[in-house]
Amino acid sequence: MNEFTPTERTEVRRLPQRAAYDRETVYRILDEGLVCHIGFVADGRPVVIPTGYGRTDDTLYIHGSTASRTLRALGAGVDVCVTVTLLDGLVLARSAFHHSMNYRSVVIFGQASVIDDPATKLEALRVFTEHVAPGRWREIRPPSKKELQVTTVLAIPLKEVSAKVRTGPPIDDEEDYAMPVWAGVLPLSSTTGEPLPDDRLPAGIHVPEYLRRYDRKRP
Amino acid sequence: MNEFTPTERTEVRRLPQRAAYDRETVYRILDEGLVCHIGFVADGRPVVIPTGYGRTDDTLYIHGSTASRTLRALGAGVDVCVTVTLLDGLVLARSAFHHSMNYRSVVIFGQASVIDDPATKLEALRVFTEHVAPGRWREIRPPSKKELQVTTVLAIPLKEVSAKVRTGPPIDDEEDYAMPVWAGVLPLSSTTGEPLPDDRLPAGIHVPEYLRRYDRKRP
């Protein structure tokens, strides 16, 4: 139950040692990421759009304006591929050929469906907001009825899912290890800067704890 | 000459004030990014794969193993959509509805073609390596004839291209500005950690300047 079953489409063929199908790995990557790239076919041709998302159990939520062509296309139940990628480092080998990157990615195949039920829709938006900034939902003004009406929320089931992970140092050809060139990993990570208060913020409102200690990594 | 011409597919309809078609904006985003998400259609369904890339003028290069199903599919001249996204901040509004992200993205539509000429292929791999770590190519062992043979290099022309950029503070509804909730932007950026030398690095080889001062932002 803790593994997604590989399918024809999700089984990783290239470098299968990098593949993972367990929920813990998949959830961790999805929960750390902020942006997914959602692909769909429009007029027979591929379109890839970046967008935010949220997750509850085995459901991924995305949302957008009901006026959006993309959301309308997706809501019609077309096939989608949703990919989330976290970049962890540059892998600098002695040879050009063995250069690589350390990364963690998740690829989801499925169909998006529109959430119509207002309570589920509201819950999805809560999940979405809490995904971006855990702790924020209880402080802000929730969506009005009108705002809910002009927001399309889509659910994508986590069913056909795989993760791919590369970690560790470069793997060079044996004869290259003696080369007098620096080799190793340059770690990369996403970090936050000092929060920039809005110009119209009333006096005396401090940066909340959940933003001061903002960290995408879950323990 | 300094603008890409919007087409039916690249003209940004939603929030057109965020659109940009000028080469400088597009180049800057592509040159700062490290990973693109390439979408294509396989058996009528969308697939989105993260991969590295490089750029020279109006050509984007991607590469991979000749053994890769993805690369073989792409090399057959199918339509692709390549998207590069840089996340600059979380936009935290007073209302759930007006939450957003500051980002810069480029979407490219086109067809990939295989680079067969060995000299062009080698040059593309140089561009690719220098994109990841400017200064590295001259220090490392270049690809052997064999390595070149098992590497597929694809070129994607920058022709149907658009950028989308959101910057600045949240835009709230007038009546929400008085709310006693912190609002503003939490800046996000990609940073490097301390370079991790490979265990088998010969003694006395120091981290090169281009890695110590590594910065994706171009002046």
Per-residue pLDDT of chain A (219 residues; tens, 9 = 90+): 689 988 888 888 878 888 899 999 999 999 999 999 999 999 899 999 999 999 999 999 999 888 787 888 888 888 999 999 999 999 999 999 999 999 999 999 999 999 999 999 999 999 999 999 999 999 999 999 999 999 999 999 999 999 999 999 999 999 999 999 999 999 999 999 999 999 999 999 999 999 999 999 877
Do the chains contact at A189 and B189, CB–CB below 8 Å?
Answer: no
* Contact flag B46-A196 (C-beta cutoff 8 Å): no
Do the domain assignments include residue A1?
no
In a domain, A166, yes or no: yes
Of A85, A95, A214, the CB nearest to B50: A85
Chain A residue with minimum CA distance to B151: A97
> Is residue B21 in some structural domain?
yes
* Low-confidence residues of chain B: pLDDT under 50: none
* CA of B92 vs chain A CAs: smallest distance (Å): 9
What pLDDT shows up at residue B1? Answer: 61
pLDDT tens-digit map of B69-103: 788 888 888 899 999 999 999 999 999 999 999 99
Q: Give just the sign of the alpha carbon dihedral B199, A87, A7, B114.
A: negative
Which pLDDT does position A218 carry in this prediction? 77
Q: How many domains does chain A have?
A: 1
In a domain, A192, yes or no: yes
In one-letter notation, the amino acid at residue B34 is L
Report d(CA B195, CA B154) in Å as an integer.
30
CATH of the domain at A59: 2.30.110.10
| Secondary structure E strands in chain B | 19-20, 35-42, 45-52, 54-56, 59-65, 79-92, 100-111, 113-114, 151-157, 160-166, 184-192, 196-197
Element (H, E) at A83: strand A79-92
CA–CA separation, A175 and A195 (whole Å): 49
**Cβ A65–B97 below 8 Å, yes or no?**
no
Mean residue pLDDT across chain B: 94
**Rounded Cα gap, residues B47 and A47, in angstroms:** 10
Domain assignment present for residue B9? The answer is: no
- Cβ–Cβ below 8 Å for A107 and B200: no
Domain membership flag for residue A193: yes
Mutate to test the interface with A, among B61, B141, B165 (most CBs of A within 10 A): B141
Q: Which residues of B touch A208 (CB under 8 A)?
A: 182
Question: What does the pLDDT read at residue A1?
Answer: 61
Which residues span the domain enclosing B21? Answer: 16-212
Contacts of A190 in chain B (CB under 8 A): 87, 188-191
Residue A5 within any structural domain of the chain = no
Please indicate, yes or no, if residue B5 is contained in any of the structural domains: no
Instruction: Identify the helix (H) or strand (E) that includes residue A51.
Output: strand A45-52
- The three-state DSSP-derived secondary structure of B111-127 is ECEECCCHHHHHHHHHH
For residue B49, give the nearest of A83, A195, A198 by CB distance.
A83
Would you say B216 and B26 are in contact if contact means Cβ atoms under 8 Å apart? no
β pairing state of A54-56 and A59-65: antiparallel
